Amino acid sequence: MKGSSIDSQIEACIKKAGTKDVLKYADEGFSGELLERPALNRLREDASKGLISQVICYDPDRLSRKLMNQLIIDDELRKRNVPLIFVN
C-alpha cells in the first residue's frame, strides 16, 4: 500500500467490485484514527438505509487506523447483512 494514491486505491476497489456502478467514500484530510469522519458517517448512514449491498475497502487501515473502530464498523455492517471485503 505504501505509495498508493487514493485514486489507485479506489480503482483497485472498483476492480474488486467488478462494476463501475459504485458509491465512493473517501475522507481525504481527516485522520483515520477518528470514527467520526464525513464520508465514513455517510457510508454508515447509507448502510443503515439499505443503500449498500457490500463495502469494499482497500485495506483495513483505510477503514480505520484503530482496531476498535474497525470492529465497531464491521459489527454495524454485519447487523445490516452488508459484507465488508478488503482488496488486501
User: 24 in a domain, yes or no?
Assistant: no
User: 25 in a domain, yes or no?
Assistant: no
User: 77 in a domain, yes or no?
Assistant: yes
> Whole-angstrom Cα distance, residue 69 to residue 62?
11
Share of the chain above pLDDT 70, in %: 97
| pTM across the whole model | 0.87
CATH number at residue 59: 3.40.50.1390
User: 69 in a domain, yes or no?
Assistant: yes
Rounded to the nearest 5 degrees, what angle is found at the Cα of 67, between the Cα atoms of 76 and 84? 40
* Start-to-end CA span in the chain (Å): 9
55-78: pLDDT as tens digits: 999 999 999 999 999 999 999 999
